[in-house]
């Protein structure tokens, strides 16, 4: 039974294989017949164009079959990569590097080549290239990085009425102007007009070994230890560089400190300097400096010879001892009179009469310059307070010249953005004064220096400010509206500077560009 079953199973498998082979054979025959079947739409044959097709005869590929394709192979040496070809078919000059452009406008455009293909141009502009003996400048040039060589349009020169003729030999050509002036020299190479750019070639050079001093300078002034490691074959004994030695000298600090003295002459420090040339009028060549370590008082003695130093030191020590042990004599009177710090102190001062006169003079100046005007009190107004500053003026010899009183606003009470905005004012530079003095000396001009009295009282305020009546005024029920800037206001320097600028401009003066505080005359007939 088992043998019968296995035989039946083998027959069934063989039958399935035969059915599959028959199906594959029918499918292959069907596909071959479909392949050789003619299409239902009109087509062209080899060497023949069917006019019923959608494409034109010029676009028909069957007419082009069998013709050999033409290709152009351009081989460029590395040394000629910057050469320029004068092309008669190029509508615009084309460059492959942006370094030639002196002005460039980025704009992508499509450029059609001779074989029908297209490449992109990144933009256009003006180029400037260096030729054999001059610089060539051309407008409307395209930047195409894909180009292997530079193409120069021949139409550019023809439009400018330039002529292109043969040169001295048959392999040379020149581009000339109307006046027969040669602007371009070129050569015929591989059927092309080649223009070579100007290149700098090194024909001769010399090599010299620098000296030890020069090597030391080039190395950044290293120490001798590192210099030996860098240049072991150099002779260090011949090395001599004074500036380097002086700049690397170090000062060793003093170890320890002197004990603090408790009385005079316990510690004194002395220095003797000289001889000094030229001598003084009294024929003194040396000076002795003595410093007392306790009082830090310094004495200076002028000597004719060094031998006098011993006597001066002895006399000085005896003099200081006598001064330390002496009592104050009965006929010695010490009087100290300070300037008043406020208006209340001025009324009780010994010189109150003089100070009151100074106050009246200051108030008179305020009235003359119309610094303020009376105003009624209002709750919305926040007036600023004022104070008086008193100072006695003396001359160069210390003699009293006058009593001066100045009314100042307490500027620290001002609020930024409400009472003031800008406070900056320009000041002249010393560097501008030097050339000004040089020009004055060169042209023989007279130099005058001027001091503007009550300068801040001439500035016009850009903010509305109020102050209380200052001490010393009779009226106290009203407040004052400031029309001009007043001392210690934060914007007073700026207001005075603006007033000064307006006055100088009205005089016909113009500020310089380098220094806005330096003015010159706008009238060309005047030198300054």
- What DSSP assignment string belongs to 271-307? EEE---SS--TT---EEEEEEETTT--EEEEEESSGG
Structural domains of the chain, with CATH: 78-195 (2.40.70), 212-236 (no CATH), 268-321 (3.30.420.10), 343-426+451-521 (no CATH)
What's the residue count for the chain? 528
Q: What are the structure tokens assigned to 95, written together?
A: 């460059």
CA–CA gap between residue 435 and residue 528 (Å, rounded) = 13
**Cβ–Cβ under 8 Å, residues 4 and 11:** no
Burial state string for 217-254 with b = 16 or more CB within 10 A and e = fewer than 16: eeeeeeeeeebeeeeeebeeeebeeeebeeeeeeeeee
Confidence of residue 330 (pLDDT cuts 50, 70, 90): very low
Residue 282, pLDDT > 80, answer: yes
Q: How far is CA 438 from the centre of its chain?
A: 29
CA separation, residue 518 to residues 182, 430, 431 (Å): 53, 11, 11
User: What mean pLDDT comes out for the span 248-274?
Assistant: 76
Residue 419, pLDDT > 50, answer: yes
Residue 329, pLDDT > 60, answer: no
CA separation, residue 276 to residues 286, 413, 520 (Å): 6, 58, 48
Q: What are the structure tokens assigned to 359, written together?
A: 């106050």
Q: What is the CA radius of gyration of the chain?
A: 51
Confidence of residue 200 (pLDDT cuts 50, 70, 90): very low
**Cβ–Cβ under 8 Å, residues 454 and 369:** yes
pLDDT digits (tens, 9 = 90+) for 471-514: 877 665 578 888 888 888 888 888 888 888 888 888 888 888 88
pLDDT score of 416: 84
Residue 196, pLDDT > 70, answer: no
Lowest mean pLDDT among 27-41, 155-169, 266-280: 27-41
Q: Please give the model's pTM, rounded to 2 decimal places.
A: 0.38
Kind of pairing, strands 172-176 and 182-189?
Answer: antiparallel
pLDDT score of 77: 42
Coil, strand or helix: which one is 112? strand
Kind of pairing, strands 286-292 and 268-273?
Answer: antiparallel
Residue 332, pLDDT > 50, answer: no
Query: How many other C-beta atoms can be found within 10 angstroms of the C-beta atom of residue 450?
Result: 4
Q: What are the structure tokens assigned to 106, written together?
A: 């980025």
Kind of pairing, strands 386-394 and 372-375?
Answer: unpaired
User: What mean pLDDT comes out for the span 235-240?
Assistant: 68
Q: Which of 361, 356, 368, 366 is nearest to 386 (CA)?
A: 366
Sign of the four-CA dihedral 303, 308, 310, 312: negative
CA–CA gap between residue 224 and residue 231 (Å, rounded) = 10
pLDDT digits (tens, 9 = 90+) for 206-215: 456 677 777 8
- Specify the DSSP class assigned to residue 330: T
Confidence of residue 255 (pLDDT cuts 50, 70, 90): low
Q: How far is CA 440 from the centre of its chain?
A: 32
| Secondary structure (H, E, C), 348-413 | CCCCHHHHHHHHHHHHHHHHHCCCEEEECCCCCCCCECEEEEEEEEECCCCCEEEEEEEEEECHHH
CA separation, residue 124 to residues 59, 96, 149, 151, 201 (Å): 34, 12, 17, 14, 31
pLDDT score of 31: 52
């Amino acid at each position: 039974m088992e043998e019968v079953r296995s035989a039946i199973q083998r027959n069934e498998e063989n039958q399935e294989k035969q059915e599959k082979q028959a199906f594959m054979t029918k499918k292959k025959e069907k596909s071959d017949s479909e392949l050789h079947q003619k299409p239902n739409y009109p087509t062209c044959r080899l060497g023949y164009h069917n006019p019923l097709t959608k494409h034109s005869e010029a676009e028909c590929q069957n007419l082009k079959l069998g013709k050999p394709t033409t290709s152009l192979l351009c081989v460029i040496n590395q040394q000629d990569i910057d050469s320029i070809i004068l092309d008669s078919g190029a509508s615009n000059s084309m460059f492959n590097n942006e370094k030639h452009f002196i002005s460039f406008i980025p704009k992508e455009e499509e450029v059609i080549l001779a074989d029908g293909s297209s490449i992109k141009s990144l933009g256009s502009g003006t180029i400037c290239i260096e030729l054999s003996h001059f610089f060539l400048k051309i407008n409307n040039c395209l930047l195409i990085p894909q180009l292997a060589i530079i193409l120069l349009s021949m139409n550019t020169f023809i439009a400018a009425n330039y002529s292109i003729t043969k040169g001295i030999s048959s392999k040379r050509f020149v581009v000339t102007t109307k006046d027969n002036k040669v602007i371009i020299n070129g050569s015929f190479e591989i059927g092309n007009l080649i223009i070579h750019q100007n290149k700098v070639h090194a024909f001769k050079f010399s090599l010299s070994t620098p000296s030890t001093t020069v090597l030391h300078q080039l190395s950044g002034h290293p120490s001798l230890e590192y210099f030996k490691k860098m240049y072991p074959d150099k002779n260090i004994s011949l090395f001599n560089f004074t500036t380097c030695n002086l700049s690397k000298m170090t000062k060793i600090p003093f170890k320890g400190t002197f004990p603090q003295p408790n009385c005079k002459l316990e510690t004194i420090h002395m220095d003797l300097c000289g001889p000094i040339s030229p001598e003084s009028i009294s024929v003194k060549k040396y000076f002795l400096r003595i410093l007392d370590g306790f009082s830090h008082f310094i004495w200076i003695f002028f000597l004719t010879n060094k031998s006098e130093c011993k006597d001066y030191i002895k006399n000085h020590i005896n003099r200081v001892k006598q001064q330390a042990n002496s009592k104050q004599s009965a006929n010695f009177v010490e009087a100290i009179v300070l300037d008043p710090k406020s208006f209340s102190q001025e009324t009780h001062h010994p010189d109150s009469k003089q100070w009151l006169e100074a106050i009246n003079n200051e108030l008179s100046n305020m009235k003359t310059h119309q610094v303020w005007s009376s105003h009624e009190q209002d709750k919305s107004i926040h007036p600023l307070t004022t104070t008086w500053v008193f100072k006695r003026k003396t001359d160069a010899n210390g003699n009293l010249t006058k009593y001066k009183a100045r009314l100042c606003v307490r500027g620290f009470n001002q609020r930024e953005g409400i009472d003031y905005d800008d406070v900056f004012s320009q000041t002249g530079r010393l560097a501008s004064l030097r050339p000004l003095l040089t020009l004055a000396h060169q042209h023989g001009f007279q130099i005058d220096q001027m001091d503007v009295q009550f300068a801040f009282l001439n500035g016009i305020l850009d903010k509305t400010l109020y102050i209380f009546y200052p001490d010393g005024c009779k009226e106290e029920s009203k407040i004052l509206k400031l029309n001009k800037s007043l001392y210690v206001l934060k914007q007073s320097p700026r207001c005075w500077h603006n007033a000064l600028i307006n006055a100088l401009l009205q005089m016909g003066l113009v500020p310089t560009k380098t220094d806005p505080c330096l003015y010159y005359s706008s009238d060309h007939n005047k030198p300054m």
